[in-house]
Chains A and B, each alone.
Chain A
Amino acid sequence: MSSTTPAVEMKDIVIRFPGVLANDHVNLTLRQGEIHALLGENGAGKSTLMNALAGLYKPVSGTTKVNGELVDFNSPKDAIAKGIGMVHQHFKLVPTHTVTENILLGMDEPRFLMNLKKYDEKILELEEQYGLYVDPAAKIWQLPVGAQQRVEILKTLYRGAEILIMDEPTAVLAPQEIDDLMVTMRSMTDQGKSIIFISHKLHEVIAVADRVTVLRKGIVTAHGKSLEGLTKRNLAQLMVGRDVVFSVEKEEREAGDVVLEMKDVYAKNNKGLPALQGISLRVHSGEILGIAGVGGNGQSELAETITGLRECEGLIEINGEEISNQPPIEAIARGVSHIPEDRTTVGSAPSLSITDNMIMKNYNQEPIGNGWSINFARAGEHAQKLKEKYNILAPNVRTPAGKLSGGNLQKLILAREISSYPRLMVAMQPTRGLDVGAIEAIQSLLLEQRQSGTAILLISEELDELLSLSDRIAVISDGKIVGAVLAEDADINEIGLMMTGGTDD
């Protein structure tokens, strides 16, 4: 193998999932000893491509060469045998095992007796070689995330990996840990390893990578570009693209009174870490405020504090009445409706019928219920009416909600929320994973609501959607609003840059 033979050469890779073309004739070339960034938005097909290289998926067509040799992987074991190791975003570690045990798991040596002391020594040597320090005798659950990641890397190195795929390795790390990781990556390439680094954070890519391949919606928009001379702005452009904005008719409308007011709201995420760090915003009647941001920057927590599902510090008011830290029923009573991010477990009860799901918010109100009994005949009529009005495709209203397609389920949720005449609608990723027809239907419903005077907080990772629907767009990053613009003068690259925490350079 000469040093000019690429470590990995993927050509015309096509990977298809039901209804989605995840990779459309993708090319990727990884040179020996380089750090190659694979950049793209969520859902652009980065992880899919890498899972194919790691032997987890099989491409429909295309060829892969490793060190010049044509390969065809049927399982991760085949990929490992060719020296390809993947550091998964969700660690594959046994929490109650020690570091050494995790590294030895599945290996042929030792045969029977563990003799952990001896292998601890071996692993210490490996740690020394790459500067990846972690106590081999520690149990995984006792280690911070950064150290767990080092164990994952050690696991691939111990198995003799020459080519490392790192799937968004910085997503779980604190800033200091990210710096350490970058030093480690450099030390690995200095010793001849080649690294593919998946990320959507521009400054990290610029800081550590030699070259970059950019994916957008399954298509390569930049193939192995040298990072020299590239700015964040250039990368944002390549990543977000300048596609024609998805056009839905939006009528002119003057915004009305303030409906939602948030002042200095702080909240923690499920792990107890700060997720919202002083959010202040206002949404007016008849206005759509779009919240743009890379996933996991506090969006879920934002929606949950407003709808009463998460405790917070600070003030949240609906039409001047405080609703912060009150149960969801208080928010509902004041006209807050919620289109949750997860429509199958939060937004609906999949095993209950369409009727049951439709009446979840008004089952105790006349004419459907009187507080202790439910008139199922009326409930059925109510559901039937909404089913027809919102064009929900299902055999009948007794069909379990779980049998509906994503688009029809989302229409059901919107029908339920809209029929309660909300003052504020908090919509989280309302069109994610839907097909084009359903997206259009959902978007028109949101615009209709705006027209009828509802204040809408639209949280989305789709910039095109935010630009076409919103009146104003605020950008959230690391739990803070880092900028706000009027949608009509918004520059998609500008927003993309703010989203990734960058400033123009």
Chain B
Amino acid sequence: MPEINTHIDESMLDGFTRLVTQEAIEGKTMLLNMGPQHPSTHGVLRLLLELDGEFVVNVIPDIGFLHTGVEKHMEYKTFEKAVVMTDRLDYLNNIGNNLVYCLAVEKLVDLDVPPRAQAIRVILTELQRIASHLVWLGTHALDLAAMSVFLYCFREREMILDIMEMCSGQRMMTSYFRPGGLWRDVPVEFEDAVRQFLRIFPARIDEYEALLTKNPLFIERTKHIGVLSAEDAMRWGVTGPSLRASGVAHDLRKVRPYSGYEQYEFDIPTHTDGDTYARYLVRMEEMRQSVRIVQQALDKLPYGPTRSNNRKFVPPPRSELGHSMEAVIHHFKLFTEGFPAPKGAVYVAVESPRGELGVYLEGDGGPKPYRIHWRTPSFANLQVLKLLAKGHLVADLVALIGTIDIVLGDVDR
């Protein structure tokens, strides 16, 4: 038998002992390393589990495996160029990241957004919310081994990604929203494609629900699992569907409307149980509400420009570049130097599929952000995993990671 180095560094052990209980050190409970390469930690989350048999005594999430330094990187980009970095944060909600960043820049420099751009932003953000919830539903069901739902969800998500590609040329990393509006107007096929999706999708939600909502095995696996009270949810800063499933009807689209959400009629689904099943029901209903919003926005989609006409911040249209030297110079200056932002700080938050997605943006008079900080919902929501998982089984832990709907790009930034 080969010689194995069983020596453990004392300093390492010190850091360790502070994390786990005395029982684990004595060997009464088992320590199990789950992740970062594990099929159901949704990316590169590492969990150090302390188990008593299969019961979870303690969960210690270890994050940072996907740290990209986006916040620091953005300080080296001009306001416009930094948009492409926002896509990479929460890779299931790219459009939403674009939106909150653009709203922050617009608020900082006081830039207007034309109504058509506002409406298209709402349509795409809601479609993105549906796509994100579809990935959540698919992976959540797959974690519970209901494998077919996963592929059905991705079938519909594909339609949304096709719409994204149609608009921006990219399926995921769209960078479609820019400060002052959109990169450019949507193509003519856009409306048909979205209407086609809206026609098909409600029946497809029924299809997923037929497989899961009344399935006794699914209910067994989700009901009374990971109960989160409203007090705990608020104490830990949980937002989004997880908060609403605990009975708090807090949705930034209603509480602090942005991009014209106040014009649309929609409900905020809530539930009082606060368990995994309640979170499932809330998200399913949210998809239906998103369909409603998209329908309304599409019906009254106004015509007009899709980008602000404020030339201080928005480059001149391509048509002018051919015959106006001033336009060429202006275009060149905007893309090399960028536009200066006033000294000051803003905080803008939107309702992402996962919760409150906020951007703190500080300008120092120059063309680049002085400081940018992302308040990401996944990071805050991940904290409650410890609270939720205690006393449950390893099998439930997998369901719980699914139910808090984290995206590691969003957690680690």
Is B a genuine binding partner of A? no
Seen from chain A, the residues whose Cβ lies within 8 Å of a Cβ on chain B are: none
